[in-house]
Homo-oligomer: A and B are copies of this chain.
Amino acid sequence: MIELFQLEQLAAFGKYGTLSKAAEALHLSQPTLTRSMQKLEAEFGVSLFRHAKNKLEFNENGELAAEHAVRILNQTRDMLELVRAKDRASHTLSFGTCAPVPALILLQNAAQAYPNMAVSTESKDNETLLAGLRNGEYQAIILPYQPEGQDLCWKEYGTETLAFALPPGHPLANRDGLYMRELDGENMLLYADIGFWHELPAQKMPHSRFLIQSDRFAFTELVQSSVLPSFVTDAAMRLYGPPENRKVVPILDPEATVAYYAVCLKQGLHRVKRLF
């Protein structure tokens, strides 16, 4: 039977034009290719080459055969690629999230429930998350609201309430609660990786400027060393503790408290059952 290494050699000759170049590219000797091409002709039962004086080139049969060869080789590579990808996917849980805190909790739970799985997570907006869930990119997602859809399973996944973290000297630092509009206009420190929480301050405090810090260390450092107000949430404080040298004042706007839902496809429930 004809074999892939022969097709590879055929394709290489088609690509490089001479046996020597092809042999070099394949890390083989020229004699090897001479014999291979002869064997190939024998197995096709057909002449594939024009033998010029000191030059070997395809005839029409050879051209056709080489085209098919590259197609078959590509398909073989695709097969390897796809099977490996499928295997990788079967050992990986991919989550999408609207916010980092519930994602961390989900990651912890997943790592515990599926110790042999690789677990990854990424932040996207809600529509992107749902689309990614439905096209198989995510096995589960975290949404800040209860989803709708016959194809979905969900489970409550905790709540989170936004609060101001004010320097002790701030005029409003002693209040028990604040509405966001009361600080509208003040410039604030904002950590970049907070998912959908970006929306609320931008909407409720249109006159404030937000100094966005993408580096976690820089952010905590600035919170301690500056008098700029910043944000914190109850859930984040449970994970990381309260910010140092700050008064935490809960935000009273109803949108500042959200309930999270872990969501998966009903047809994909088996892959994340232990989390639901």
A residues at B contact (CB < 8 Å):
1-5, 8, 44-48, 60-61, 64-65, 68-69, 71-72, 75-76, 78-80, 82-84, 86-87, 90
Which residues of B have CB within 8 Å of A4?
1-4
Contact between B76 and A64, CB atoms less than 8 A apart: no
Query: Given contacts A3-B5, A45-B84, A48-B83, could you give 10 more A-B pairs where the C-beta distance is less than 8 Å?
Result: A2-B4, A44-B80, A46-B84, A61-B90, A64-B82, A65-B79, A68-B75, A68-B78, A68-B82, A69-B79
Contact between A47 and B87, CB atoms less than 8 A apart: yes
Copies in the complex: 2
Contact between A46 and B83, CB atoms less than 8 A apart: yes
Contact between A72 and B64, CB atoms less than 8 A apart: no
Partner of A44 from the list B61, B69, B83 (CB cut-off 8 Å) is: B83
Partner of A2 from the list B68, B69, B80, B86 (CB cut-off 8 Å) is: B80
Shortest 3 CB-CB contacts between residues of A and residues of B: A68-B79, A46-B87, A65-B83
Complexed CA–CA distance, A25 and B153 (Å)? 47
Contact between A72 and B76, CB atoms less than 8 A apart: yes
Chain B: which residue is nearest A79 at the CB level?
Answer: B68
Which residues of B have CB within 8 Å of A82?
64, 68
Which residues of B have CB within 8 Å of A90?
60-61
Least CB distance, A90 to chain B, in whole angstroms: 7
Which residues of B have CB within 8 Å of A64?
82-83, 86
Contact between A75 and B72, CB atoms less than 8 A apart: yes
Of A5, A8, A71, A80, the most chain B CB neighbours within 10 A belong to A80
